Amino acid sequence: MNTTNAHSCDLAPDEPPRRLGRAQRAGIVLLAAVGLFALLGPWLIGIDPARQQLERFLEVPSLAHPLGFDQLGRSMLARLAHGARLSLALAAASVLSAAIPGTLLGLLAAWRGGWLERVLAAFADAVLALPGLLLVLLLTAFTPGGFWPLYVGISLALWVEYFRVVRAAGRILLASAHVEAARLLGFGPVHIVRRHLLPELLPRLFTLMRFGFAGAVLAMSALGFVGVGLQPPTPELGVMMIELLPYYGEAPWLIGAPVLLLFATLLGLLLLAPEREAA
């Protein structure tokens, strides 16, 4: 067999690069702005978010302090920057901790099949039987306000989605002509996964990660808002909302700041969807 023909099935035709639409570019800009604020904001502002100045109770915004001060005289801009860093970092860690094992287990189940696939699928179904927020609540109930139970609970609630999607798509891809030809030519599992499975799975995984990130941010905010997530005085978006809600009538800009930041983050994630996916 000719070497060129032997490897022709492994070569994908060159495709023109896809240009980003306006909505995707706007989403990237929005997320970049939020990310830079969360990453550099605490360092640039340089104010302790826990420092109290009671004489500045609900002080209105000014040029020096664009968001004013909260009910305890703490800089709202500093607390918002630290809260954004904590919430977004925890959401990103939860998504990665769910995506990596979920993807690997999904590939393993699709590749091996048999009893291993049945065991993994049964375990995933058992986790899926519990609502995500309920699973997080069960873990956070043991140590209220703790960081690790919240992180582990969100990760456990998210990994099943990656497992189920990768397992279903992987079984179809492994039965395709390209993969069968690669196996006949002697290519190993690593090569097949890297060249044939991952290029097809990555767009779906990226979509799951976007919605998973948004869901993790909302879950943390919801848990903080009902008082079972991170606890005051920790600067976290949900905690800030529940602290500032009683002062909505006197200082609506205070509770509006974390709400708008959360809205901008979720909007940026939604705008990243390709046009055909958004349609």
Whole-prediction pTM: 0.78
Structure tokens at 12: 């994908």
Instruction: Please name the residue that has the structure tokens 């500093």.
Output: 78
**16 or 246, which is more confident:** 246
Question: Quick check: 200 and 173 in contact, CB under 8 A?
Answer: yes
For the chain, what is the mean pLDDT?
A: 83
Structural contact between residues 198 and 29, judged by C-beta atoms closer than 8 angstroms: no
**All residues at 6 or more sequence positions from 191 whose CB lies less than 8 Å from its CB, including other chains:** 182
Helix, coil or strand: residue 14: coil
Tokens of 197: 């499975």
- Contact of 73 with 57, CB cutoff 8 Å: yes
Say yes or no to pLDDT of 269 above 70: yes
Residues above pLDDT 70, as percent of the chain: 87
Domains and CATH numbers, the chain: 22-47+67-278 (1.10.3720.10)
Phi-psi region of 113 (alpha: psi -120 to 50; beta: other; left: phi over 0): left
For residue 9, give the DSSP letter: G
* Region for 70 from its dihedrals, namely left if φ exceeds 0, alpha if ψ lies in -120 to 50, beta otherwise: beta
In tens, the pLDDT along 1-57 reads 444 444 444 444 444 556 778 888 898 999 999 999 999 999 998 889 989 998 999
Residues 6+ apart with CB under 8 A from 214: 265, 266, 269, 270
Predicted local confidence at residue 275, as pLDDT:
58
Count Cβ atoms within 10 A of the Cβ of residue 99 and give its class: 0-12 exposed, 13-18 middle, 19 or more buried.
buried
pLDDT tens column, 220-231: 777 777 767 777
Rounded to whole angstroms, the Cα distance separating 11 from 1 reads: 17
Give the highest mean pLDDT range of 67-71, 137-141, 183-187. 67-71
Q: 74 near 52, Cβ under 8 Å?
A: yes
Higher pLDDT, 275 or 183: 183
